[in-house]
């Protein structure tokens, strides 16, 4: 059973993916990449196609609603040469700005369109093409069987299913009964996603017969959740736990390296300088390592007001 890190916009960049691979993930996804932006030459979008040397298999996820856009994106991803293990289509993101363009969750009710987009991708890449989607628009409107059929017809290699409806956004228990039904009805390998945070959730998901389990939010503050779950499922001892401070420092070092690598690779696109990226990631992500520890609120407050890498280092040294 494979345990993979889900695509999470603004989070699953090379530093965080590296943390998750070190924490036992068997695979990961990029953040979603706009096919239209790639086609229109938006250089900063190409940052999303970067990968660290120390990472394991990463699938590149694109979103789009236009066959020419996704075909172009497929060629662009191919052109970065062997960096990715698969090219995935996002047919599940409920964000208004994505749905408005006919992409993401808008595709959940359009299996024919999904088939066309997957075919366009497949004709333009040497990578396996995969789909990530949801169960349907809302309970009672289950379309995942048709979506899996579309993926099969287009020659996709796998389907990842967030076992919730679009109307449920990211909350509520996953509908494992529908997932189980899907597994028995499709020829494609299925990766199950939704609400897995521990051994129990993973075991329930695995019991549906899925080939892999995908984890998103539970990994944000616990990138080692993959190793923990694997150990618990196999009855092995839990892996040694890193302290919040160790996790924070390790992740921060990766962010600084990543900022330097972006600056070297894209001298004209002005990626955020290392200090600014470190502050941004600390405020949006790294502070989470301290949640649940005594004094977390105070640490978080201090980290949120830090404006430079030196200030961040000073705060961390006192913890
Ligand atoms: C902040 C945030 C950003 C997300 N970004 C993406 C994305 O870029 N592509 C995607 O397919 N799903 C995205 N998702 C959905 C997750 O991949 C996953 O399907 C969902 O969070 C359910 O998994 P979980 O219950 O383990 O969190 C996002 C979810 C969150 C909370």
Closest protein CA for atom 12 of ligand 1: 7
Q: Show me where the domains of the chain are located.
A: 2-234, 244-317
Q: Token pair 């997932």 is at which residue? A: 179
**10 φ, ψ (degrees, to nearest 5):** 75, 0
Query: Annotated catalytic sites, by residue?
Result: 93
The CATH superfamily of 2-234 is Aldolase class I (3.20.20.70)
Task: Determine the pLDDT at residue 319.
Answer: 84
Closest protein CA for atom 9 of ligand 1: 7
Pocket test for ligand 1, best of 8, 159, 220 (most atoms within 8 A of CB): 8
**168 φ, ψ (degrees, to nearest 5):** -90, -5
Q: Quick check: pTM over 0.95?
A: yes
Pocket test for ligand 1, best of 170, 174, 194, 215 (most atoms within 8 A of CB): 170
Tokens for 117? 């987009």
Measure 214 CA to ligand 1 centroid, in angstroms: 10
Task: Determine the pLDDT at residue 171.
Answer: 95
Task: Determine the pLDDT at residue 317.
Answer: 92
Closest protein CA for atom 29 of ligand 1: 8
Q: What is the residue-level pLDDT of the chain in tens, covering all 319 positions?
A: 999 999 999 999 999 999 999 999 999 999 999 999 999 999 999 999 999 999 999 999 999 999 999 999 999 999 998 999 999 999 999 999 999 999 999 999 999 999 999 999 999 999 999 999 999 999 999 999 999 999 999 999 999 999 999 999 999 999 999 999 999 999 999 999 999 999 999 999 999 999 999 999 999 999 999 999 999 999 999 999 999 999 999 999 999 999 999 999 999 999 999 999 999 999 999 999 999 888 889 999 999 999 999 999 999 998 8
Q: Is 209 helix (H, G, I), strand (E, B) or coil?
A: coil
Measure 192 CA to ligand 1 centroid, in angstroms: 13
d(CA 28, CA 20) in angstroms, rounded, equals: 8
d(CA 118, CA 107) in angstroms, rounded, equals: 12
Measure 9 CA to ligand 1 centroid, in angstroms: 7
Pocket test for ligand 1, best of 147, 216, 225, 288 (most atoms within 8 A of CB): 216
Task: Determine the pLDDT at residue 114.
Answer: 99
The closest of 173, 101, 84, 93 to 134, measured between CA atoms, is 93
Q: How many of the other CB atoms lie within 10 Å of CB of 284?
A: 11
217 lines ligand 1 (CB under 6 A): yes
Q: Which atom of ligand 1 is nearest to the CA of 132?
A: 11
User: Is 6 exposed, middle or buried (CB count within 10 Å of its CB: 0-12, 13-18, 19+)?
Assistant: buried
Task: Determine the pLDDT at residue 293.
Answer: 87
88 lines ligand 1 (CB under 6 A): no
Closest protein CA for atom 23 of ligand 1: 194
Task: Determine the pLDDT at residue 256.
Answer: 98
The stretches of the chain forming alpha helices (DSSP H) are 14-22, 35-39, 67-79, 96-99, 111-122, 144-153, 176-185, 199-206, 225-234, 244-265, 274-284, 296-305, 309-317
- Cβ 288 vs Cβ 258: under 8 Å: no
Q: Token pair 């499922």 is at which residue? A: 233
d(CA 60, CA 28) in angstroms, rounded, equals: 9
């Amino acid at each position: 059973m494979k345990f993979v890190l889900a695509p999470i916009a603004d989070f699953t960049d090379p530093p965080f993916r590296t943390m998750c691979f070190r924490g036992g993930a068997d695979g990961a996804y990029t953040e979603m990449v706009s096919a239209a932006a790639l086609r229109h030459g938006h250089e900063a979008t190409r940052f999303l196609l970067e990968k660290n040397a120390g990472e394991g298999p990463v699938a590149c996820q694109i979103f789009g609603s236009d066959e020419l856009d996704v075909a172009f994106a497929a060629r662009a991803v191919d052109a970065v040469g062997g960096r990715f293990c698969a090219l995935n289509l996002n047919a599940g993101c409920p964000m208004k700005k994505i749905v408005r363009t006919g992409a993401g969750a808008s595709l959940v009710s359009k299996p024919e369109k999904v088939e066309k987009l997957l075919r366009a991708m497949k004709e333009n890449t040497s990578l396996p093409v995969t789909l990530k989607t949801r169960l349907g628009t809302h309970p009672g409107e289950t379309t995942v069987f048709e979506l899996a059929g579309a993926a099969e017809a287009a020659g996709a290699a796998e389907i990842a299913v967030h076992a919730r409806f679009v109307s449920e956004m990211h909350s509520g228990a996953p509908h494992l009964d529908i997932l189980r039904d899907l597994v028995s009805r499709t020829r494609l390998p299925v990766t199950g996603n939704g609400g897995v945070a521990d051994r129990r959730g993973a075991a329930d998901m695995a019991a549906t017969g899925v080939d892999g389990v995908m984890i998103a939010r539970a990994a944000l503050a616990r990138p080692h959740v993959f190793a923990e779950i694997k150990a618990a499922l196999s009855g092995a001892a839990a892996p040694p736990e890193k302290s919040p401070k160790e996790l924070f420092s390790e992740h921060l070092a990766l962010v600084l390296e990543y900022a330097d690598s972006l600056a070297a690779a894209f001298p004209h696109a002005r990626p955020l300088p290392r200090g600014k990226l470190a502050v941004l990631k600390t405020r949006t992500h790294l502070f989470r390592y301290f949640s649940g520890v005594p004094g977390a609120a105070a640490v978080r407050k201090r980290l949120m007001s830090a404006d430079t890498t030196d200030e961040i280092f000073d705060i961390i040294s006192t913890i």
